[in-house]
Chain A
Amino acid sequence: EVQLVESGGGLVQPGGSLRLSCAASGFTFSSSWMSWVRQAPGKGLEWVANIKQDGSEKYYVDSVKGRFTISRDNAKNSLYLEMNSLRAEDTAVYYCARCIFGRSAGYFDYWGQGTLVTVSS
């Protein structure tokens, strides 16, 4: 059974930093693109970042470029999101998701339950 379990969310002040983690199991993590997708309270879904299997390619939504860094540790089956210079508009539930990505596919097939990040003073 595929499992994605996020952790690391919490309350942080504007300008602060936070590191999210996602522990993966039930599939070959090292063979999968992985993603972070967020959802602000009462709002829709927003893709945040993607990382290739070996970490050699990373993509970000414009609003987080230069502030967030996605990374992975295939030996630990773990995905990370380092978030710096946090703003109130970064407040959201952050989901870890597996991304099926290739020449003829670009979607998220498994999702974690999410971790809430609140940016407030």
Chain B
Amino acid sequence: EIVLTQSPGTLSLSPGERATLSCRASQSVSSSYLAWYQQKPGQAPRLLIYGASSRATGIPDRFSGSGSGTDFTLTISRLEPEDFAVYYCQQYVSSAWTFGQGTKVEIK
């Protein structure tokens, strides 16, 4: 089973700042099978990025994804008030889907 480890656990930033979230896999992951989600309290997750770097429909271009192999990054170029939330990475391999434990982006 591939384990995804996200860091940091919590990121304290101010609106307008840049956020860089990391997702590290215990084994190499195909970029095609790496996705990122945003979840706000009391809401379902929302797909942000798929295929490591493709934005989902309706996602602002301040969100970008990058990486390959075992290291992937979600970057929010300039934080808007609505971006403060929990972010999860997710991968698929060998008939199993797994999520990272999440990174909380909070207002500093």
Chain A contacts to B: CB under 8 angstroms: 35, 37, 44-47, 50, 59, 61, 95, 100-101, 103-114
Contacts and interface: CB of A to CB of B under 8 A. Distances in A.
Main secondary structure of the interface of A (DSSP, over half): strand
A47 B98 contact: yes
Contact of B33 (A44, A95, A105, A114): A105
Contact of A106 (B47, B56, B97, B102): B97
Main secondary structure of the interface of B (DSSP, over half): strand
Interface of B: 32-33, 35, 37, 39, 43-47, 50-51, 56, 88, 90-92, 95-102
A101 B93 CA distance: 11
10 contacts: A44-B100, A45-B45, A47-B90, A95-B44, A105-B33, A105-B50, A107-B33, A107-B47, A107-B50, A111-B45
Contacts, number: 63
A111 B99 contact: no
Contact of A59 (B35, B44, B95, B101): B95
A107 B44 contact: no
B16 to A, nearest CB: 28
B90 A107 contact: yes
A107 B99 CA distance: 11
B25 to A, nearest CB: 14
A106 B100 contact: no
B88 A44 contact: yes
A113 B32 contact: no
B44 A112 contact: yes
Contacts of A106: 32-33, 35, 91-92, 97
Nearest to A104: B32
Given A100-B50, A104-B51, A114 B99 contact: no
Contacts of B37: 45, 108
